[in-house]
């Protein structure tokens, strides 16, 4: 009897008579171990791929930044840097360098003073074609910036652009029909509208043209529609000359509640027969709490939305 028990014990230890559930558990454990090894390898491979992609993107961004820095230095040095012979850079060459600067770095720098300076040099030399080229580049930059703004904001808070036409009193039936069809206004009469959120009423008019600067004289009055206990909002008057070198992303007005607007010159012409002046403007309302690239590297409106944080508006509430 003792010998039979000893033999049964050996059979059990050898695994020939092991219960079915234990054999299944052993098989599952082995498969799970193999799966864990494979899963770990896949995770490691995925992580390595992501890290490789991040590294490539980082290196590409670094290379692009270095290229732009070198390009900016090479373009600005002949303009602002000293010259060995003490002479001034030729106006035509300066125009070319400024055009390249404006086309490639318009979002980060205010080029209006430099563009106006070059334009005056070209005017003094009678270089009419070069001046037209400079203004054409400025219009191209304006269109590009407005196109980029149209993609910003949310469905409820988008960029809004108004086209405004101002002109002298019509002297012919053709001019009268054109003004009526285009919804134009006479110089000195106001366009009145509100900001997209209704917080501000803006009255804008063109009072005339500035022949010396080839610009338009603009008057604006901003009236707040907000009310808060103990706070008195006063009207904000503005009076300035709008030139072809005012860009939306650098020449704009930021209001206290996060609203921002800009006015740009679209076109200015004089009728050769009657001498009537016509100007076309664009009034641009930015998405609320939008920051230009040179002010902030991050769009904080989008950043807040992703974090689920609500911003306080000018009325003391939350958006």
Q: Which domains does the chain have, with CATH numbers?
A: 65-145 (no CATH), 159-307 (2.60.98)
Q: Does residue 36 have a pLDDT over 90?
A: no
pLDDT computed for residue 200 by the predictor: 93
d(CA 291, CA 308): 19
Given pLDDT bands bounded at 50, 70 and 90, which one contains residue 16? low
Given pLDDT bands bounded at 50, 70 and 90, which one contains residue 63? confident
Q: Report CA torsion sign: 48, 51, 56, 57.
A: positive
d(CA 310, CA 226): 19
3-state SS, residue 154: coil
d(CA 144, CA 248): 10
3-state SS, residue 62: helix
d(CA 176, CA 95): 39
Q: Does residue 82 have a pLDDT over 60?
A: yes
d(CA 12, CA 175): 109
pLDDT > 90 in the chain, percent: 38
3-state SS, residue 312: strand
**DSSP run (H or E) holding 284:** strand 277-285
Non-local (6+) Cβ contacts of 144 within 8 A are: 106
Given pLDDT bands bounded at 50, 70 and 90, which one contains residue 78? confident
Specify burial of residue 297 (Cβ count, 10 A radius: 0-12, 13-18, 19+): exposed
Sheet holding 236-242, edge to edge: 191-194, 200-210, 215-224, 236-242
> How many C-beta atoms surround the C-beta of residue 208 within 10 A?
15
Average pLDDT value for residue range 161-170: 93
pLDDT computed for residue 305 by the predictor: 60
Cβ(150)–Cβ(287) under 8 Å?
no
Nearest to 234 by CA among 223, 245, 242, 243: 223
Please tell me which residue, 68 or 235, carries the higher pLDDT value: 235
Cβ(94)–Cβ(79) under 8 Å?
yes
Non-local (6+) Cβ contacts of 298 within 8 A are: 291
Q: Identify the top-confidence range among 30-39, 64-73, 248-257.
A: 248-257
Please tell me which residue, 115 or 306, carries the higher pLDDT value: 115
Given pLDDT bands bounded at 50, 70 and 90, which one contains residue 52? confident
Given pLDDT bands bounded at 50, 70 and 90, which one contains residue 300? low
Least confident of 40-49, 194-203, 211-220, 247-256: 40-49
pLDDT computed for residue 302 by the predictor: 55
What does the DSSP 8-state code read for residue 233? P
Geometric angle at alpha carbon 87, from 81 and 91, rounded to 5°: 80
d(CA 251, CA 245): 9
Non-local (6+) Cβ contacts of 190 within 8 A are: 203, 204, 205
Q: Report CA torsion sign: 151, 165, 267, 115.
A: negative
Q: What is the pTM of this model?
A: 0.70
Given pLDDT bands bounded at 50, 70 and 90, which one contains residue 319? very low
**DSSP run (H or E) holding 270:** strand 260-270
pLDDT computed for residue 274 by the predictor: 82
């Amino acid at each position: 009897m003792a010998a039979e028990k000893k033999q049964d014990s050996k059979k059990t230890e050898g695994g020939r008579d092991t219960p079915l559930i234990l054999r299944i558990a052993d098989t599952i454990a082995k498969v799970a171990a193999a799966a864990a090894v494979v899963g770990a390898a896949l995770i490691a491979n995925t992580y390595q791929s992501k890290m490789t992609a991040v590294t490539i993107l980082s290196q590409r961004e670094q290379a692009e930044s270095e290229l732009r820095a070198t390009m900016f230095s090479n373009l600005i040095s002949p303009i602002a840097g000293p010259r060995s012979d003490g002479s001034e850079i030729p106006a035509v060459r300066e125009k070319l360098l400024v055009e390249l600067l404006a086309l490639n770095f318009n979002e980060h720098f205010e080029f209006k003073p430099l563009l106006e300076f070059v334009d005056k040099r070209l005017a003094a030399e009678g270089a009419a074609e070069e001046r037209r080229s400079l203004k054409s580049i400025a219009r191209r930059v304006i269109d590009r910036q407005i196109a980029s703004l149209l993609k910003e904001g949310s469905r409820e808070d988008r960029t809004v652009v108004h086209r405004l036409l101002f002109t002298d009193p019509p002297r012919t039936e053709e001019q009268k029909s054109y003004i009526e069809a285009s919804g134009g206004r006479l110089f000195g009469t106001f366009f009145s509208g509100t900001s997209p959120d209704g917080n501000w009423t803006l009255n804008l008019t063109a009072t005339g043209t500035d022949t010396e600067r080839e610009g338009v004289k603009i008057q604006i009055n901003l009236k707040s529609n907000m009310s808060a206990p103990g706070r008195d909002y006063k009207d904000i008057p503005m009076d300035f000359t709008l030139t072809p070198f005012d860009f939306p992303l650098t020449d704009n007005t930021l209001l206290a509640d996060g609203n921002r607007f800009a006015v740009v010159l679209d076109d200015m012409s004089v009728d050769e027969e009657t001498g009537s002046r016509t100007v076309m403007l664009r009034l641009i309302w930015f998405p609320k709490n939008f920051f230009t690239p040179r002010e902030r590297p991050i769009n904080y409106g989008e950043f807040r939305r992703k974090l689920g944080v609500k911003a306080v508006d000018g009325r003391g509430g939350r958006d």
